């Protein structure tokens, strides 16, 4: 007479396969990301640039303020003419510094940036991009948080209107 297999013995291979399903799902999500639409393209001196937020979530807490991640795309061939670039929110563009948060990094096709945001946004705040070329000339451009080109008198508070991603 053969022993009757226990429930565990009978279904252990099916349970192992079931544990692999979330791995397949998360791998699919990692290789097929979806991003919000890009913000309006803008001329920054001789360069054209497009900002794309990496999520619709509001800026996340970091240090004394907040951060939000962006992908930055410059015109073809422009990146080789740029010495450094910085993206940050505030009333005016920040001065470039090696210790400054918000420096763009990445390859020649697309750059990534963790843009600092103030703890309490004020009226007149913008998202400022500062670009310095190899001759030391600096160029500035500003966006509002909803992606339009900045107009005088509009505030940055819309960036904090959405719930953070969990």
CATH, residue 63? 2.60.40
Of residues 137, 138, 140, 144, the one with CA closest to residue 159: 144
Does some domain include residue 60? yes
Does some domain include residue 67? yes
From first to last of its 166 residues, the chain has per-residue pLDDT tens of 566 778 888 888 888 888 888 998 899 988 988 888 888 899 999 999 999 998 888 888 888 788 889 999 999 988 899 999 999 888 888 777 666 788 899 988 889 999 988 887 777 788 899 999 999 999 999 988 665 555 544 445 555 444 444 4
Longest dimension (CA), the chain: 89
Q: What is the pLDDT of residue 9?
A: 83
Q: What is the number of domains present in the chain?
A: 1
For residue 91, what are the domain limits? 42-160
Tokens of 95: 């001065």
Tell me the chain's radius of gyration from C-alpha atoms.
23
Does some domain include residue 132? yes
Does some domain include residue 32? no
Burial class (CB in 10 A: 0-12, 13-18, 19+), 33: exposed
Q: What is the pLDDT of residue 108?
A: 85
Does some domain include residue 5? no
Does some domain include residue 98? yes
Q: Cβ neighbours of residue 55 under 8 Å, at least 6 residues apart?
A: 35, 36, 69, 165
Q: What is the pLDDT of residue 93?
A: 84
Q: What is the pLDDT of residue 153?
A: 45
Q: What is the pLDDT of residue 152?
A: 47
């Amino acid at each position: 007479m053969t022993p009757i297999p226990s429930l565990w013995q009978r279904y252990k291979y099916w349970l192992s396969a079931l544990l692999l399903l979330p791995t397949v799902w998360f791998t699919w999500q990692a290789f097929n990301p979806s991003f919000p639409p890009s913000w309006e393209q803008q001329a920054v001196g001789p360069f054209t640039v497009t900002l794309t937020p990496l999520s619709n979530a509001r800026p996340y807490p970091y240090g004394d303020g907040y951060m939000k991640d962006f992908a930055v795309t410059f015109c073809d061939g422009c990146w080789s003419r740029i010495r450094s670039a910085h993206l940050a929110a505030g009333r005016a563009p920040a001065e470039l510094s090696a210790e400054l948060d918000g420096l763009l990094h990445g390859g020649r096709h697309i750059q990534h940036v963790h843009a600092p945001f103030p703890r309490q946004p004020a009226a007149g705040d913008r998202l400022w991009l500062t670009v310095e070329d190899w001759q030391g000339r600096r160029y500035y451009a500003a966006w509002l948080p909803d992606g339009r080109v900045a107009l005088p008198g509009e505030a940055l508070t819309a960036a904090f209107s959405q719930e953070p991603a969990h």
